[in-house]
Amino acid sequence: MSRQFSVAVAGATGAVGQTMIRVLEERDFPVGEIRFLASERSEGKELTFKGRKVVVRKLDHDSFEGVDIALFSAGGQRSLDYAPSAARSGAVVVDNSSAWRMDPDVPLVVPEVNPHAVAGYRKKGIIANPNCSTIQMVVALKPLYDYARIKRIVVSTYQAVSGTGQKAIKELEEEALAWADRIRGGEKAGTDEAYGYAGEYEYRAYPHQIAFNCLPHIDVFLDNGYTKEEMKMVNETRKIMEDPDIQVSATAVRVPVFFSHSEAVNVAFEKDVTPEKARELLGRAPGVRVVDDPSANVYPLALDAEGQDHTLVGRIRKDISQPNGLDFWVVADNIRKGAATNAVQIAELLIREYL
Ligand code: A2P
């Protein structure tokens, strides 16, 4: 019988943790023992794995004895606190937070782009899973980069609330339902007041209403005027593509969509790439699906990407403002390819090539 692995999921009750569990099941990962870890609040709660009930335990430093692979998605602080303990216990950590991504001794891996980097896990016993917006962008850029090298990327994101976690999904639902109640109630219908809460509602996930709104603010603002999320796209893209010279400017926007991030990407290449050539290259790239027939209203949509693992690319066109430029639209499920699926793919690479 082929080897089975003991797997722990830290953050098992969260939006990404739950999907990690489903993806392990779907892909039939060779799991011998499974351990579900979360905060004290969830201790004793029962989750299922392949039809069996598994009791959630509290994440602690001694949670990883005998574990081969620890998938972490319990927030950056938990990764900083517990990933080293997991590694000391002998587990290889695949961490979904940003805590370790830019550590030079931690590889940052997208299996379609830099699978060889996994070997770097030996240094600290940790492999970082990139930021969701970065993953889908580099999956689409890699085949184009290999053909024509990239000088500069300008990207604007339209990011789903699920990226903020369970509480933000609930918040968008509650705001939308509250809005519907007000409209149905009739008295506010057609007035400006119907479309905002004017301070009546206590926002928890975001500093403003997210329903029927767009927030150009993801994570904290930095001294250079960009947000931390935007700078993740700059720094992580360079690390994954192994090219410190790629210039990236990003604007990250939270939109009232439950699942899947969309991105408008503008790229300047070193040599010309026609849209036809780009479609051909992307058409045979791993993990990519070209969805590009605008005359028939066919282009990548968040609702179509939801629940699948492909990165959808469409609206591919020549940038009329510069030589050697392309514009396109990239959509992927942020919880799946942007987080859980990419982490499980890294674990698959690890057991196939290294463990
Ligand atoms: P819990 O459900 O017990 O709070 P999301 O990003 O969807 O909000 O999920 C966050 C995940 O991280 C959840 O599984 C959550 O567990 C877990 N988590 C949050 N804080 C801690 C903590 N202090 N210790 C362990 N797990 C935590």
pTM for the model stands at 0.96
More confidently predicted of 157 and 175: 157
279 CA from centroid of ligand 1 (Å): 41
Task: Please list the residue range(s) of the chain that carry CATH number 3.30.360.10.
Answer: 134-164+213-334
Ligand 1 and 13: CB distance under 6 A = yes
278 CA from centroid of ligand 1 (Å): 41
Ligand 1 atom with the smallest distance to the CA of 74 is 12
Identify the band that residue 197 occupies on the pLDDT scale cut at 50, 70 and 90: low
Give every CB contact of residue 280 below 8 A, 6+ residues apart in sequence. Answer: none
Q: Which CATH superfamily is domain 5-129+339-353 in?
A: NAD(P)-binding Rossmann-like Domain (3.40.50.720)
pLDDT digits (tens, 9 = 90+) for 277-292: 999 999 999 999 999 9
Nearest CA, atom 2, ligand 1: 13
Ligand 1 atom with the smallest distance to the CA of 75 is 12
What is the chain's mean pLDDT, rounded?
95
Tell which phi-psi region holds residue 315, choosing left (phi > 0), alpha (psi between -120 and 50) or beta: left
Find the mean pLDDT for residues 57-74: 98
Cα 154 from Cα 255, distance rounded (Å): 19
Which amino acids are annotated catalytic?
132, 261
Cα 136 from Cα 337, distance rounded (Å): 7
Residue 198 pLDDT: 46
Nearest CA, atom 22, ligand 1: 39
Residue 203 pLDDT: 72
pLDDT digits (tens, 9 = 90+) for 313-344: 999 999 999 999 999 999 999 999 999 999 99
From the centroid of its chain, how far is CA 46? 26
42 CA from centroid of ligand 1 (Å): 8
* Cβ neighbours around 198 below 10 Å, total: 9
Ligand 1 and 21: CB distance under 6 A = no
Name the burial class of residue 354, with classes exposed (0-12), middle (13-18) and buried (19+) by CB atoms within 10 angstroms of its CB: exposed
For a mutational test of ligand 1's pocket, the pick from 13, 79, 167, 334, i.e. the residue with the most ligand atoms closer than 8 A to its C-beta, is: 13
pLDDT digits (tens, 9 = 90+) for 90-134: 999 999 999 999 999 999 999 999 999 999 999 999 999 999 999
Identify the band that residue 183 occupies on the pLDDT scale cut at 50, 70 and 90: confident
Residue 184 pLDDT: 78
Cα 179 from Cα 332, distance rounded (Å): 28
Nearest CA, atom 23, ligand 1: 39
- C-beta separation of 214 from 253 below 8 A: yes
DSSP bridge pairs for 152:
247, 268
Write the DSSP string, 67-132. -SEEEE-S-HHHHHHHHHHHHHTTPEEEE-SSTTTT-TTS-B--TTT-GGGGGGHHHHSEEEPPPH
Cα 179 from Cα 267, distance rounded (Å): 39
* Cβ neighbours around 146 below 10 Å, total: 12
Task: Please list the residue range(s) of the chain that carry CATH number 3.40.50.720.
Answer: 5-129+339-353
- Fold of domain 134-164+213-334: Dihydrodipicolinate Reductase; domain 2 (3.30.360)
Ligand 1 and 166: CB distance under 6 A = yes
121 CA from centroid of ligand 1 (Å): 25
> What is the chain's length?
355
